Chain A
Amino acid sequence: MKNERNIYKPFRARLTGVIEESPLIKTFVLIPEERFSFGTGQFIELSVDGIGEAPFTPSSSPVVTEQIEVTVMRTGYVTEYMHNLKPGAFMGIRGPYGRGYPVEKFFGKEVLILGGGCGLAPIRSLLYALENVKDKLERVILCYGSKTPADCIYKPLFARLNNTEKFEAYRTVDRPDESWDGSVGVVTTLLNKVNIDIRNSVAVVCGPPVMMKFGTIRLLEIGYKENEIYLSMEKNMSCGLGKCGHCMMGEFFVCKHGPVFTYDEIKETPDIWK
Chain B
Amino acid sequence: MQYKSIKKEEWDKSLERLLLSYTIFATVKNDFGLDYEPVDASNIVEISYNKPKPATSLKSFFLPIKENVTAKVQATKPRIIIGAPNCDIAGLEILDEIYLDKDFKDPFYSHRRENTILISADCFNITEHCHCLTYDVKPYSTSGADLAVVHMNDLMLFREITSRGKEFLSQLSFLRESDNKDFAAEIKEKHQYVESALTVSNKGLPDYKTTGSLVEKAGDEVWRKYSSGCVSCGACSTICPTCSCFLLIDKPGFEKIKQTDACQYPGFVRVAGGEDALVETHRRFRNRYMCKYVWKPAKFKPTACTGCGRCIETCIGGINKNKLFVELAT
Contacts and interface: CB of A to CB of B under 8 A. Distances in A.
B73 to A, nearest CB: 6
A92 B248 CA distance: 14
Contact of B256 (A8, A209, A245, A271): A8
For the side of the interface on B, what is the size category? 35 or more
Contact of B104 (A1, A92, A209, A243): A243
Given A53-B248, A242-B98, A274-B277, A47 B271 contact: no
Interface in A18-68: 47-54
A104 interface: no
Contact of A50 (B101, B104, B253, B291): B253
A242 B299 CA distance: 12
Contacts of A242: 98, 101, 103-104
A251 B253 contact: no
Given A50-B250, A51-B250, A274-B277, A245 B295 contact: no
Interface stretch (B83-91, B261-269, B307-315): B261-269
B283 to A, nearest CB: 9
Nearest to A257: B299
A78 B268 CA distance: 16
B245 A244 contact: yes
A235 B69 contact: no
Nearest to B252: A50
B247 interface: yes
B225 interface: no
Interface in A200-237: 209, 234-236
A49 B295 contact: no
A12 interface: yes
Most-contacted residue by chain B among A245, A252, A271, A274 (CB, 10 A) = A245
B258 interface: yes
A175 B261 CA distance: 41
B274 to A, nearest CB: 8
A1 B269 CA distance: 35
B268 A246 contact: yes
A244 B254 contact: no
B295 A251 contact: yes
Given A242-B103, A251-B299, A8 B248 contact: yes
A50 B270 CA distance: 21
Contact of A6 (B107, B248, B277): B107
B106 A243 contact: yes
A271 to B, nearest CB: 4
Interface in A146-192: none
B75 A1 contact: yes
Interface SS, A side: loop
Given A49-B252, A244-B261, A248-B295, A76 B272 contact: yes
Contacts of B128: none
B43 interface: no
A10 B295 contact: no
B213 interface: no
Most chain A CB neighbours (cut-off 10 Å) among B101, B103, B104, B247: B104
Contact of A238 (B99, B104, B247): B247
B261 A245 contact: yes
A243 B99 CA distance: 7
Interface in B57-80: 69-70, 72-73, 75
B245 A75 contact: no
Contacts of B251: 50
B226 interface: no
B178 to A, nearest CB: 39
Given A238-B248, A239-B246, A7 B104 contact: yes
Nearest to B251: A50
Interface string B275-289: 111000000000000
Contacts of B106: 7, 241, 243
Interface string A107-119: 0000000000000
Contact of A248 (B69, B73, B291): B291
B105 interface: yes
A4 B73 CA distance: 11
Contacts of B273: 75-76
Contacts of A88: none
B244 interface: yes
B295 A244 contact: no
A250 interface: yes
A71 interface: no
A99 to B, nearest CB: 11
A234 B251 CA distance: 25
Contacts of A10: 254, 256
B247 A235 contact: no
A16 to B, nearest CB: 18
Contacts of A139: none
A243 to B, nearest CB: 5
A7 B256 contact: no
Q: Which 7 A-B pairs have the closest CB atoms?
A: A245-B245, A76-B272, A50-B252, A274-B277, A8-B69, A241-B104, A271-B277
Given A236-B271, A239-B248, A245-B263, 5 more contacts: A9-B70, A49-B254, A53-B248, A247-B269, A274-B275
Interface of A: 1, 4, 6-10, 12, 47-54, 75-76, 78-79, 92, 209, 234-236, 238-239, 241-248, 250-252, 256, 270-271, 274
